[in-house]
């Protein structure tokens, strides 16, 4: 009986396997004990032999070394890549045919992920619930056997989903979220991402979410380390969705964070479709991307450079744009004149949703948007969370005909009086969302945006 052992300073384990007819028998445990045993039956002796060989190969890959007996294990799973087949998946991660071709190739390399692909496809295509349960059972079994090798020990040992949350598909990680938590004493988010990108399991990652980072307890949650890891190592063509700063005020005040310049992301993620940035100290770089469809910038203080970057962007595929400007007390700069290229529709030929929100010059935006060329192509307009008073709302009312083609108009959380809001509601009907309005006193002119600190 071949015997394998594994030692790493923390563990001293053994593992043995024997094939008898259409079954294999496994004995495993701590060195010096009798361990535990398990048996698995197959439909034929050949199938049992093949399964034993694959299982042995996975153990060898994890670091187990043969110490007794004669082993006939096949070579460990191949680590070589197949650029052509991988490029097809990166181009369209939902293309089942591309996955099947890649899975077939993986199986020729004795890579257990090949079986994972076949099982994943079968799970999608087989409507029989009993068969689905059997398929899922085998997927779970393969994951248990191979996850440590696929992911790496430093990540595999983390069972706190608030720190590391993974979504798998076909033996690869489809989605990852990393974040900092007070009670967790392991790797910080940037190092979690570094370990993740070392793993072959990151090859087809489609979504990355970075929650709050360390430093928030000192009033400065910095995201620059995470950005460096995301942009390191070349292009990530399968990446479709990226969120930097997935946290709320209960975790960290928005002004207590520092995002940094995200401009390096655009070239690294050529197929990115969704990009959300939430935090303070946001730099946008030169906003150019061929395939980006959704851009959300949420901050309590948008710098002049960032305002200009939004206005002068070249985003030919963008359909949804939402920008929070914030308060000058927390770093907000700029004025409505900087948005002139945006209002003219330059760089945004497919835009249908425009949100210019949380802004101290919301009145000026309202006055300019009603006669702007870009308004004609929009379906929804959001001017909420700002400091608009009757002056800006009257501009909307005076140009109500120009707003009739819109499906939705949002002006919630401003400082508009009841008389004007009622007139707007009468003119625009259900497409207008007024929500709650703060009371405005013209004598002290004290107004504030919804999100600043």
- Same domain (yes/no): 116, 206: no
Q: How big is the chain by its Cα radius of gyration, in Å? A: 28
Helices (H) and strands (E) in the chain, counts: 15, 20
Q: How confident is the model at residue 22 (pLDDT cuts 50, 70, 90)?
A: low
pLDDT of 38 reads 65
Residue 385 lies in a domain: no
Residue 182 in this model has a pLDDT that exceeds 70: yes
Residue 319 lies in a domain: yes
pLDDT of 73 reads 38
SS3 252: coil
Residue 386 lies in a domain: no
- Same domain (yes/no): 247, 313: yes
The half-sphere exposure of 285 on its side-chain side, counting CA atoms within 13 A, is 13
- Same domain (yes/no): 173, 230: yes
Long-range contact pairs involving 48-51 (C-beta distance under 8 Å, separation at least 24) = 48/19, 48/21, 48/22, 48/23, 48/24, 49/19, 51/24
Residues 260-273 have pLDDT tens digits of 999 999 999 999 99
Of residues 412, 415, 259, the one with CA closest to residue 331: 259
Q: Please, where are the H alpha helices in 355-417?
A: 362-369, 390-398, 400-403
- Same domain (yes/no): 95, 217: no
- Average pLDDT score, the chain: 89
pLDDT of 388 reads 97
What does the pLDDT average to over 92-108? 94
Q: Which CATH number is 25's domain given?
A: 2.20.140.10
Higher pLDDT, 94 or 18: 94
Residues 51-60 have pLDDT tens digits of 877 888 788 7
- Same domain (yes/no): 212, 347: yes
Residue 26 lies in a domain: yes
What does the pLDDT average to over 178-207? 92
Q: State how many domains the chain has.
A: 3
Residue 120 lies in a domain: yes
Residue 59 parent element (H or E): helix 45-61
Percent of the chain residues past pLDDT 90, beyond the cut: 68
- Same domain (yes/no): 277, 354: yes
- Same domain (yes/no): 63, 89: no
Contact 449, 386 (CB under 8 A): yes
Domain range spanning residue 33?
3-68
pLDDT of 268 reads 93
Q: Rounded to an integer, what distance in angstroms lies between the CA atom of residue 82 and that of residue 408? A: 47
- Same domain (yes/no): 105, 251: no
Residue 410 lies in a domain: no
- Same domain (yes/no): 232, 335: yes
Residue 25 in this model has a pLDDT that exceeds 80: no
Boundary (domain end) residue, out of 339, 365, 391: 365
Q: Which CATH number is 291's domain given?
A: 3.80.10.10
pLDDT of 426 reads 96
Higher pLDDT, 268 or 76: 268
Residue 373 lies in a domain: no
- Same domain (yes/no): 311, 324: yes
Residues 325-364 have pLDDT tens digits of 999 999 999 899 999 999 999 899 999 999 999 999 999 9
Boundary (domain end) residue, out of 145, 177, 198: 145
Residue 376 lies in a domain: no
Q: Which of 36-50, 164-178, 266-280 has the lowest mean pLDDT?
A: 36-50
- Same domain (yes/no): 141, 154: no
Extract the tokens encoding 301.
Answer: 């203080």
What does the pLDDT average to over 161-183? 94
Boundary (domain end) residue, out of 118, 145, 172: 145
What does the pLDDT average to over 37-44? 63
- Same domain (yes/no): 194, 234: yes
Residue 311 in this model has a pLDDT that exceeds 70: yes
What does the pLDDT average to over 294-312? 96
Q: Rounded to an integer, what distance in angstroms lies between the CA atom of residue 39 and that of residue 51? A: 12
Long-range contact pairs involving 140-146 (C-beta distance under 8 Å, separation at least 24) = 142/112, 142/115, 142/116, 142/171, 143/116, 143/168, 143/171, 145/55, 145/58, 145/112, 146/58, 146/112, 146/113, 146/171
């Amino acid at each position: 009986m071949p015997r394998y052992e594994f030692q790493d300073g923390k563990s001293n384990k053994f593992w043995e396997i024997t094939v008898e007819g259409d079954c294999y028998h496994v004995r495993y445990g701590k060195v010096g004990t009798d361990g535990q045993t398990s048996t698995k039956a197959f439909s034929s002796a050949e199938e049992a032999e093949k399964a034993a060989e694959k299982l042995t190969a996975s153990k060898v890959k994890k670091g187990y070394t043969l110490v007794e007996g004669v082993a006939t294990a096949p070579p460990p799973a191949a680590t070589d890549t197949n650029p052509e087949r991988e490029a097809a998946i990166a181009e369209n991660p939902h293309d089942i045919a591309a996955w099947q071709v890649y899975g077939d190739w993986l199986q020729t390399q004795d890579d257990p992920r090949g079986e994972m692909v076949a099982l994943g496809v079968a799970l999608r295509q087989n409507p029989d619930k009993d068969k689905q349960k059997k398929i899922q059972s085998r997927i779970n079994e393969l994951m248990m056997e191979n996850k440590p090798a696929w992911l790496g020990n430093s990540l595999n040992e983390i069972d706190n989903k608030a720190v590391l949350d993974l979504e798998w598909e076909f033996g690869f990680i489809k989605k990852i979220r990393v974040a900092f938590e007070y009670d967790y004493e392991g790797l910080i988010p940037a190092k979690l991402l570094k370990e993740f990108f070392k793993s072959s399991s990151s090859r087809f990652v489609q979504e990355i979410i970075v929650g709050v980072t360390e430093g928030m307890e000192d009033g400065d949650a910095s995201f620059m380390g995470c950005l460096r890891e995301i942009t390191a190592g070349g292009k990530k063509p399968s990446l479709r969705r990226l969120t930097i700063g997935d946290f709320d005020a209960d975790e960290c005040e928005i002004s207590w964070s520092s995002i940094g310049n995200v401009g390096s992301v655009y070239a690294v993620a050529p197929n990115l479709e969704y990009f959300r940035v939430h935090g303070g100290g946001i730099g946008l770089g030169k906003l150019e991307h061929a395939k980006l469809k959704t851009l959300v910038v949420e901050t309590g203080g948008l710098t002049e450079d960032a305002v200009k970057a939004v206005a002068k962007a070249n985003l030919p595929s963008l359909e949804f744009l939402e920008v929070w400007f914030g308060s000058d007390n927390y770093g907000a700069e700029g004025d409505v004149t900087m948005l002139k290229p945006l209002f003219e529709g330059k760089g945004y030929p497919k835009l249908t949703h425009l949100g210019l929100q949380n802004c101290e010059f919301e009145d000026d935006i309202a006055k300019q948007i009603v006669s702007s060329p870009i308004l004609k192509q929009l379906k929804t307009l959001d001017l909420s969370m700002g400091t608009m008073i009757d002056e800006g709302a009257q501009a909307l009312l005076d140009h109500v005909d120009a707003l009739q083609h819109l499906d939705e108009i949002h002006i919630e959380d401003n400082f508009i009086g009841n008389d004007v809001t009622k007139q707007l509601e009468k003119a625009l009907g259900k497409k207008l969302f007024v929500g709650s309005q703060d009371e405005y006193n013209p004598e002290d002119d004290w107004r504030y945006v919804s999100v600043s600190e």
